[in-house]
Amino acid sequence: MKSRCILVLLWVSVAALLFLCVASAGAQETPPPASTAPAGDTQQAATSASSALRLTLEDALARARKNSTQFQAAQTDAAIARQDRYQAAAALLPSVTYNNEALYTQLNNNAVVFIANNAAHEYVSQANVHESIDLLAISNFRKASAASALAKARAEIASRGLVVTVVQNYYAVAAAQLKLEAAKKNADEGDRFLKLTQDLEKGGEVAHSDVIKAELQMQERRRQLLEAQLGLLNARLDFAVLIFPDFNDNFELAEDLHASVPLPTLAEVQQRAARDNPDLRAALAAVQQAGHDVTGARAGYLPTLSFDYFYGIDATRFAVNNENGFSNLGSSALATVNIPIWNWGATQSRIKQAELRRTQTQRELSLAQRKLLAEIKSLYAEADTALNELSGLSRSAELSAESLRLTTLRYKGGEATVLEVVDAQSTFAQANTAYQDGAVRYRVALANLQTLTGVLTTP
């Protein structure tokens, strides 16, 4: 019994040793997951970067026009207005219908009871060509034409408003990218300056307060870097929602925010705005539409004339020939003149109503003209000011970078204080932010001018 127990213990020990050996060999042959994960992430990031969609401003505008619900609604309204105009024009042309009737009339001593009917059984199968000459129909066609022009102008207004939004979001992403790059430089500069103060403190050249101040500055720069990353993310998400029908943030911008874009002269802007301004065209089309309403209302005082031509069968048998062999086919013509006499002043009320609308649209046209003149000067002054300030902002960013470099060198040589370096770093960050914001401001100002002139200035 004891020998059996000893053998069992030996077999268990040998099995345990074999299991430990296999496990240790497997652990040595299997590489740790930490060593493979970065390589996979790097490869995935490289693949994503290579497949990123490269967007120009024109590409973004084309995508936004397809994706914008508001713009598509304006386009739909314009298309509906064109169909209304087509229907109003069709109403002016002769119409052709084919009528089929079977009439039964009560007889009284083999004669029909009703005067208008010709026999006990009467069959009518005729083609009818109808034409009505009516001033109201002509006025409705002209009104529909003006309404179509109005809808087209409003669609263009929606398009130009969309342009401003796309330009603002497009260059906001570009500015956020540049701000992030500047924030990274500032953060790296803060780290280098902290290390510099620590090295100088070890050599007894500066006090510990300089190290504390440098560390506080480094922490501030790190927070600004995180805020810049968040700002870029939000800008990209807003832009992606604007131009893509489904969510897609894998894109990159093709155009440079700081590319040189000339500003047209004020005379060119005024000339284009007078010719192509959609607000002015919309107000003018509204006045024309209201004027045709007045004409249509006044048509209620005039007679209407209509013509009808009939060809076909009107007989007691539904056949080409009657019982005597003669043809049942024949034609007839009818002319009708309706003369309005009295309708309790409803026509006069409609005329007054239409004249009130016309007067209001004339006031709105006058307001649109005045607003156009004011907006030309205001928006042009905004663009001109932004352009003039942009060169100064660019120079300020260059000077702040040079000032930071020289101040840091002076600090190393013991000629500047830590406060001077911190102030130079803050000035550099503010100057770069102002430079990017100034570039976006100029681009948006040019897009606002496009709402007046219809010409988008691009590099």
DSSP output for 301-336: GS-EEEEEEEEEEEESSSSSB-TTS-B-EEEEEEEE
pLDDT recorded at residue 396 = 93
pLDDT recorded at residue 9 = 42
Segment 232-284, tens digit of pLDDT: 999 999 999 988 988 788 888 888 888 888 888 888 888 888 887 888 888 88
392: pLDDT strictly greater than 60? yes
**Could you tell me the sign of the dihedral formed by the alpha carbons of 158, 159, 165, 169, in that order?**
positive
pLDDT recorded at residue 269 = 86
- Give the model's confidence band at 114: pLDDT under 50 very low, under 70 low, under 90 confident, else very high: low
User: Between these two residues, 129 and 456, which has the higher pLDDT value?
Assistant: 129
Cβ proximity of 397 and 370 under 8 Å = no
215 Cβ partners below 8 Å, 6+ apart? 194
- Give the model's confidence band at 2: pLDDT under 50 very low, under 70 low, under 90 confident, else very high: very low
- Residues shown for the chain: 459
Choose among 452, 255, 259: nearest CA to 368.
Answer: 452
Cβ proximity of 221 and 201 under 8 Å = no
Each as own residue / partner, the long-range contacts of residues 367-375 (CB below 8 Å, 24 or more positions apart, any chain) are: 367/283, 368/279, 368/280, 368/282, 368/283, 369/280, 369/283, 371/279, 372/273, 372/274, 372/277, 372/279, 372/280, 372/452, 375/452
CATH fold, domain 53-93+135-300+346-453, is Outer membrane efflux proteins (OEP) (1.20.1600)
Structure-derived torsion over alpha carbons of residues 107, 108, 113, 115, reported in degrees to the nearest 10: 100
Instruction: Please provide the average confidence, as pLDDT, over all residues in the chain.
Output: 82
Question: CATH class for domain 95-133+303-339?
Answer: mainly beta
Segment 33-92, tens digit of pLDDT: 333 334 444 454 444 555 778 888 888 888 988 888 888 898 899 999 999 999 988 888
Q: Which residues pair with 124 in a beta bridge?
A: 101, 314
205: pLDDT strictly greater than 90? no
Q: What is the pTM of this model?
A: 0.69
**CA separation for the pair 234, 246 (Å, rounded):** 17
- Give the model's confidence band at 14: pLDDT under 50 very low, under 70 low, under 90 confident, else very high: very low
- Give the model's confidence band at 115: pLDDT under 50 very low, under 70 low, under 90 confident, else very high: low
Mean pLDDT of 167-187: 90
Cβ proximity of 99 and 129 under 8 Å = no
- Give the model's confidence band at 20: pLDDT under 50 very low, under 70 low, under 90 confident, else very high: very low
Helix axis angle for 418-453 and 208-243, nearest 10°, is 20
Segment 288-321, tens digit of pLDDT: 999 999 999 998 898 989 999 999 998 888 888 8
What burial letters (b/e) apply to 369-407, b meaning 16+ CB within 10 Å? beebeebbeebbebbeebbebbeebeebbeebbebbeeb
Cβ proximity of 425 and 217 under 8 Å = yes
Tokens (6 digits) for 86:
């087509």
- Write down the domain spans for the chain: 53-93+135-300+346-453, 95-133+303-339
pLDDT recorded at residue 27 = 38
Q: How do beta strands 329-338 and 304-315 pair?
A: antiparallel
